[in-house]
Structure 1
Amino acid sequence: MTAKRYAGIHNELQGGMTPTANIIRDAWVFGLIPEEETCEGWTVQGIDDLYDKVSAAWAPYGHLASNLPSELRERHARIYEAAVTRARATGWDPDRLEED
C-alpha cells in the first residue's frame, strides 16, 4: 500500500489557508525547515512529526504570536501577511468561510 503524500503548501486548495499549511508556516517562523521547503511529497507521518516540533517551539510563548520575541514576531507577520496576500490572489475569501 502506498503512503498518502502531501500536495505541498503552494498546491493546496483555499490558497493554502489550512491547518496543515499553518504548521508549515510556523515551522518556517521557528526555522525548523527553510522557507523554500513546501513539504510537497511528505507523508502524513512527516507532517505529524513537524507538527510536534512546531508545537514544542510554540510552547514557551503560550502559542501566541504576541508573546514571540521581536525577531520571531516580525518573521511571523511577514510570512502570514504574504500567505494571506497569496491566498486572496488565488480566490480565497475568509468571509465566505463564515457563510458556509
Structure 2
Amino acid sequence: MLEQHYVGIDQDENEGLTHLGRIVRDAWVFGILPDSETCAGWSSAQMQSLYEKVYAAWEPYAHLPSRLPDELRKRHTQLYAQAIARAKEKGWDTELDDED
C-alpha cells in the first residue's frame, strides 16, 4: 500500500480551503510554520503531527477565531480572506449542493 503525501497548500484544491490546507494555514497563523512552508510532500504522519500542534494552539481560544488575541485574529482574517478571494477568482462556488 502506497503512503499518500500532501500536495502542498499551493497545489491543494480551492486555494487550500480543505481540511489539510486549513491546518497549514492555521500553522502559519500561530507561527508554527513559516508562511513559506507549503508542506508539499509531507507524509500522513507529518500532517498528523502538525494537526496536533495546531489543535493545541487553538485550545486556549476554544477553536474560535473570535476569541483570538487581536494580532492573531487579524492574521487569521487576512490569510483566510486572501485564500477565499483567490479561490472565488478561480471559480470556487461556495454554494452547497445535495452532495455537500
The Cα shift of 1:72 comes to 0.3
Q: Using the alignment, how far apart are the partners of 2:15 and 2:83 within structure 1?
A: 8
Q: 2:93 is aligned with what amino acid?
A: D
In the other structure, the counterpart of 2:74 is 74
In the other structure, the counterpart of 1:45 is 45
Q: How many residues align?
A: 98
TM-score w.r.t. length of structure 1: 0.91
Moved over 2 A (4+): none
In the other structure, the counterpart of 1:14 is 14
In the other structure, the counterpart of 2:36 is 36
Q: Using the alignment, how far apart are the partners of 1:44 and 1:90 within structure 2?
A: 28
Q: Using the alignment, how far apart are the partners of 1:73 and 1:88 within structure 2?
A: 22
In the other structure, the counterpart of 1:60 is 60
The Cα shift of 1:76 comes to 0.4
TM-superposition CA deviations, 1:13-71 (whole Å, max 9, x none):
23322111110110000000001111101001111000000000000001000000000
Structure having the larger proportion of residues in helix: 1
Does the aligned pair in 2 maintain the 1:9–1:24 contact within 8 Å? Answer: yes
Specify every segment of 5 or more residues in structure 2 that has no aligned partner in the other structure, as ranges: none
More contact order relative to length (CA 8 Å, sep ≥ 6): 1
What is the aligned-residue RMSD (CA, Å)? Answer: 1.2
Does the aligned pair in 2 maintain the 1:15–1:92 contact within 8 Å? Answer: no
Q: Using the alignment, how far apart are the partners of 2:15 and 2:56 within structure 1?
A: 26
The farther-off stretch of 1-10 and 73-82 is 1-10
